[in-house]
Amino acid sequence: MLSKDYVRWFSDIRVSDVALVGGKNASLGELYATLSQEGVRVPNGFALTAEAYRDALTAANAWEPLHRLLDSLDKSDTKSLAKCAAQAREIVYQATASETLREQIIRGYRQLEAEYGADLAVAVRSSATAEDLPSASFAGQHESFLNVRGVDALFEACRRCFASIFTDRAISYRVDNGFDHFKVFLSVGVMKMVRSDRAASGVMFTLDTESGFRDVVFITGVYGLGENIVQGTVDPDEFYVHKPTYRAGSRAVLSRALGGKQLRMIYAEGGGIKNVPVPEAERERYCLTDAEVLTLAGEAITIEDHYSKNAGHPMPMDIEWAKDADDGRLYIIQARPETVISQRQPTAFETYALGAAGEVLASGRAVGEKIAAGPVRVIAGGADLSAFKPGDVLVAESTTPDWEPIMKIAAGIVTERGGRTCHAAIVARELGIPAVVGATDAKRALKTGAMVTVSCAEGDIGRVYAGALPIQKTHIELSTVKRPRTEIMLNLGNPELAFRSAMIPNDGVGLARMEFIISEHIKIHPMALVNPEKVVSEKARAEIQRLVKNYAKPADYFIEKLSEGVGMIAAAFYPRPVIVRLSDFKTNEYARLLGGEGFEPKEENPMLGFRGAARYAHPAYAEGFALECAALRRVRDDMGLTNVRIMVPFCRRVEEARRVLDAMAGHGLNRGDRGLEIYVMCEIPNNVIQIDAFAELFDGFSIGSNDLTQLTLGVDRDSEIVAFDFDERDPGMLEMFRLAVTGAKRNRRHIGICGEAPANYPDVARFLTKLGIDSISVNPSSVLRTMQVVSDAESGA
C-alpha cells in the first residue's frame, strides 16, 4: 500500500537529486531554487519521485512479469519489441493506479491552482534517473503531455508518463547505451504551463551546435509551443549572441536568420494541443525582439556559469525557454548539460571537400561538417522503415524518435522541415553523419534509388548533389603540429565557416574579405540602397523591395547584414586580430549585384580601373562607402568586437590614402580611437617604392601577392596565353617581398602576407620567414601545412 510522501516541490529539489527525481526534474529544481534570485524565471511545479514508480511496481508484483518480457528480448526484432514494449507499458500503467498516489497528485495540483488560478494548465513530463547526464541525454525517449487540465486528466497523464519508460525507443536506447532496464527509474514532473501558445518558445545552447565553438549562445525560436522545434515540423528563427563581449558590457545580437515558422502549436479545446498555420505577415517577422534575445542570452550565460561552478569545469548547456503571452515575460522551462558536441575532445583535424562539381538537387541547413554518398530512400511513414538498408540516404519530411534504428545505419539524412535543433539534427550530430534539414521539396527532388552526395562541408548551407561525387578527406594529428614564432593567420570570407575555422590552430584572420558577404548575403549594390529610384531594372527593383521590406530604411538592410557577417568572423576569433578588408569588387563584379548595372562604368580593364581606394571618396561611390563604414562601426562599437582592424585595398598613391582616411574619419572610424588600427594592402609596386610614406599613415601592411605579382611582372594570370609567366618565385618578386618586409620593419609597422604564394610554394614561405615577416595568412586548409614549413624555416631545417 502506497503511504509515503512522493511529492517533492521544485523549491526542495537540487541538481544532486537525480536518483530521487530524475535528471530533468533535478535540473528544474536547481533552476527554480537557486537562480530565481538572479532573474532567471522558472514556473513552479512538483515532481513525483522515482520511489513512487518503484513502490507502485513492487506493490503490484510487476517486476517478475517485466523481467519475463525484457530479459531475453532481441531489440532488432521490431515486431517482438513493439509487442513486449506495449505489454510492459500496460503493466506499469495498471500498477500506478493507486488511490494514494492519485490523492498526492491532486493535493499538489490544488496547491498550484492556489498559486496560479483555478483550472490551471500544466505540463506533465517524464524524468528518468539516467536522463540529462553529460554522457547520455535520453532526449525524446519518454512521453510528455501538454495543456493538461483538471485532476482526472492529470492523473491519467502521470500514469502514461510512468508507463513511457517502456516505449520501443526507450528500450532500444537503453540497450544501445548499456543501461539496465531495471536500474533506470522514472519520475514525473508537473509544472505550470507558460502561455507560449499565443507567444513564442524555443531552445538555446551555450555553444554552437555544429562546430562546438564555446563563445556564443545559439538561440532558436518559433511561434507557439516549442514541441514543433524538437519535432522538426517547422523552421525556427535563429540568433547568435557573443558571450565574451556580452560579459564585457556590449549588448548586441551577433547575427540572426529568419525561419519559416510555418505552424504554431496551440492549446486545443478540452485539453491537449494542435497545430495551426501561421499567417504570412507573422512568418516574415522574427518571433523575438533583439531585447528579448539578449535577455535570453544573459539567462543562458547565468545558467551555464552556475552549472560550470558546481561541476568544477565548463558545462555547456541545452536550455528550453518560453514566452508567456499573459505577462510578456520569458521563462526557462528546462536546462540540461549539452551531451554531444561538448563531449568531443579533438586530437586531430579532419576536413572534407568535394572533388568535383555537381548538380544541386536540394539544399537546406547543414548539420555537421562531413560529406557522404549513397542511394536515396524516401520515407513517408513507419510502413516504409523496413525497406531501409545500411548506407541509404534517409529523405523525409521530418523524423521521429521511433526512426532512430534506421537513422543509425544511414549514410546521411535529408528532411524538408526543421532547424538545427530538431530531432533529425540532434541524432545526426550524435551519430556523426551529415544531415541537411529544412530542405524544401526534398521528397519531390530526390527519388528513391537515385545516387546522391550529401555535403555539409561548405558552410551553413547543406547541399544534396546528383550522383556519387568524389570526396576528399584530410586528417592531421594536432599533436604533430609545431606552432612557429611567425604568426600564421587565416584568409576567410564566408562567415558560415568562421566558428569551425577558428578552432584550427591560428593567430587570427589576416584577411577577412567583405565580398562574399555582400554577394551572397546582401546581394544588392550599396548605391541601389542609397538611391533606389535610380535602379534601372524593374525586376531588380522588385527583388530589392522584397529583401528590404522589413527594414525602416533600405540602407539599414546593408548595414545589418554586413555587420553581422563581419561580426561572426570577428567573434569567432576574438580577441585575436581580424583584419577586415574594405570592399574590393571590380566594376564588372559590382555591376552583377542587384541594381548594380546602373551605377557602374563599363571598363576595358576593370583590374586596373575603378576599384579599391579609388572608389571610397569618389562621388560615384561615397554614399555606398558610408554604409561599409557604418557596418564596421557597428561591429566595433555596438558589438564590442574591437579586435577588428580595417584594411584599405588597392591604394595607388599616398594622396589617395589621405582622402580615404579622411572619409573614414568622417564616418566615425578614426585611426587610434578605441585602439583602431588601419592597414593598407601592399599590392601595387608603388606601395613598396613609397613604403616609408605609406607607413606614416597606416599601422601595418599586408602583401597581396596575387596583384603585386601581376603588376610587377606585367602578367594577367587569367590570360590563357601568358598565365604561364605568372610566378611569385620570380627573382624580381622575391626582391619586391624583401623590400616590403624590410621597409615595414624600418618603420616599425606590422607586415604580413595574405596572398596565395606561401601556401602554394613552401620555398616562398621559407623565404618570407627568414626575412622576419610578422604574419603569413593562408586559407584554412593550408594552415597546418604552412605552420610546419615555417617552423622548419625558423629552426634552420
Q: Which residues are catalytic?
A: 423, 754
Neighbours of 12 (CB within 10 A): 14
- As a 3-state breakdown, the chain gives helix, strand, coil percent values, each rounded to 5, of 45, 20, 35
- Between vectors from CA 514 to CA 712 and to CA 606, what angle results, nearest 5°? 45
Return the C-alpha cell found at 287.
518571433
CA distances, 278 to each of 236, 260, 271 (Å): 12, 9, 21
DSSP 494: -
Amino acid at 319: I
Distance CA 224, CA 144 (A): 16
Contact 504, 492 (CB under 8 A): no
Q: What is the CA radius of gyration of the chain?
A: 30
* Rounded CA separation 505/576 (Å): 12
Whole-angstrom Cα distance, residue 299 to residue 296? 5
Distance of CA 675 to the CA centre of its chain: 30
Contacts 24+ apart (CB under 8 A), 282-288: 282/223, 284/258, 284/549, 284/550, 285/550, 286/221, 286/237, 286/256, 286/258, 287/200, 287/202, 287/221, 287/222, 287/223, 287/237, 287/261, 288/200, 288/219, 288/221, 288/237, 288/239, 288/323
Task: Report which DSSP code applies to 652.
Answer: -
* Residue 182 grid cell: 531495471
**CA 182 – CA 452 distance, rounded (Å):** 43
Q: Which three cell numbers stand for residue 762?
A: 613552401
